[in-house]
Amino acid sequence: MSNFNDIIGFIKNQYPSKDFIPLHEPNFTGKEKKYILDAIDSTFVSSVGAYVDKFELMMADLTKTKKSVAVVNGTSALQVALRLSGVGTGDEVLTQALTFIATINAIIYNGASPIFLDVDLDTMGLSPNAVNAFLEENGEIREGVCYNKKTNKKIAACMPMHTFGFPVHLNELMTVCGKWNIPVVEDAAESIGSEYKEQPTGSFGKLGVFSFNGNKIVTSGGGGAIVTNDIELGLKAKHLTTTAKVPHPYEYVHDEIGYNFRMPNLNAALACAQLEQLGSFIQNKRELAKQYNTFFISKGINFRTESTNTKANYWLMCLELENKKDRDLFLKETNDNKVMTRPIWQLIFKSPIYSSYQRDAQENALFLEDRIVNIPSSVR
């Protein structure tokens, strides 16, 4: 691979006021300070407050779902969503190994085991064909419930992750999982504002989960959300994440094991101000993606773009390089020149703590692991 200097120069031109160009930094140009000061003045700075309520309404509206629950981070949202979908100790969850570790940790927190299946090359997310092939070989329906014939364990859920904001092939995946009576929990942590066939990601599965970490398009410093079209599940999510406390004017009664996963009102105030700007943030990022795509086409490099029938938020933009050697050279040259770039995640099953779980051949995931790098993607 050549023309590193041209690439570095072009990226630097997108952010001319910066000496060091981060991968993705937050943008606070709205009413963030106003709302945070308002929350402070109200004295409601912890887990109860007007901005928590407002944030939940905004998220339900944005995702076109019936109920949203604010939580402290995306990982806790995944943990609770899996529990609500029926995942318990000894169960299994179909998912992808090409993901951030939180996806898999949330499965383990529920006492369940991941089954690592391959991704599609175009979306970099869980492949419906890989899920179908696995289930045709290993699945068995017993009294309406899907079991893994090899392990004799219940396959309690399927959790795709919308990699870097690019939606997976949701219709096909929902069809396969529906055939086998497996609920889908969407890990939409990276895909706020992304759409599949003009419908928001997170709204297709039994539950959807979002993250508002400091590096996301919309951030609350730390935060997450669970969304669902099942009102009862949504109410249950709120109950579990507020320590399962039975409502009472002053008594403390908890009717099951819950979690202190509540989003503080201060964080919710920041999130509300950020959500108000989501449309302009995504418009800005999609314009940057167009400029990147034009440039990298001229260099003969594959800049990853959205697939048919989807609208991506382009959270982290990425290049597909020729091979691992080119990838490693690119990462070194860019970072040495104060342009932050990062490789896609190491496949989770390569970690010793996750190496023993069932998986397929991972042909596409291995290909992408050697070639995909993220480049600076901040709102300008």
Q: What is the 3-state secondary structure (H, E, C) of the chain?
A: CCCHHHHHHHHHHHCCCCCCECCCCCCCCCCHHHHHHHHHHHCCCCCCCHHHHHHHHHHHHHHCCCEEEEECCHHHHHHHHHHHHCCCCCCEEEEECCCCHHHHHHHHHCCCEEEEECECCCCCCECHHHHHHHHHHHEEEECCEEEECCCCEEEEEEECECHHHCCCCHHHHHHHHHHCCCCEEEECCCCCCCEECCEECCCCCCEEEEECCCCCCCCCCCCEEEEECCHHHHHHHHHHHECCECCCCCCCCECCCCCECECCHHHHHHHHHHHCCHHHHHHHHHHHHHHHHHHHHHCCCEECCCCCCEECCCCCEEEECCCHHHHHHHHHHHHHCCECCEECCCCHHHCHHHCCCCECCCHHHHHHHCCEEEECCCCC
- Are 238 and 60 contacting, i.e. CB atoms less than 8 angstroms apart? no
Q: Each residue's pLDDT tens digit in the chain (380 positions)? A: 456 899 999 999 999 999 999 999 999 999 999 999 999 999 999 989 999 999 999 999 999 999 999 999 999 999 999 999 999 999 999 999 999 999 999 999 999 999 999 999 999 999 999 999 999 999 999 999 999 999 999 999 999 999 999 999 999 999 999 999 999 999 999 999 999 999 999 999 999 999 999 999 999 999 999 999 999 999 999 999 999 999 999 999 999 999 999 999 999 999 999 999 999 999 999 999 999 999 999 999 999 999 999 999 999 999 999 999 999 999 999 999 999 999 999 999 999 999 999 999 999 999 999 999 999 999 99
Residues of each domain in the chain carrying CATH 3.40.640.10? 32-275
For CATH 3.90.1150.10, list the domain ranges present in the chain. Answer: 4-24+278-375
At the topology level, CATH places domain 32-275 in Aspartate Aminotransferase; domain 2 (3.40.640)
What pTM does this model have?
0.96
Residues 6+ apart with CB under 8 A from 191: 162, 165, 166, 167, 201, 202, 210, 312, 313, 315
pLDDT of amino acid 1:
44
Contact present, 71 and 47 (Cβ < 8 Å): no
CATH code of domain 4-24+278-375: 3.90.1150.10
What is the arrangement of strands in the sheet containing 224-228, beginning at the earlier edge strand?
67-71, 224-228, 207-211, 185-187
Q: What pLDDT sits at residue 134?
A: 98
Q: What is the distance between the alpha carbons of residues 243 and 188, in angstroms, rounded to a whole number?
A: 24
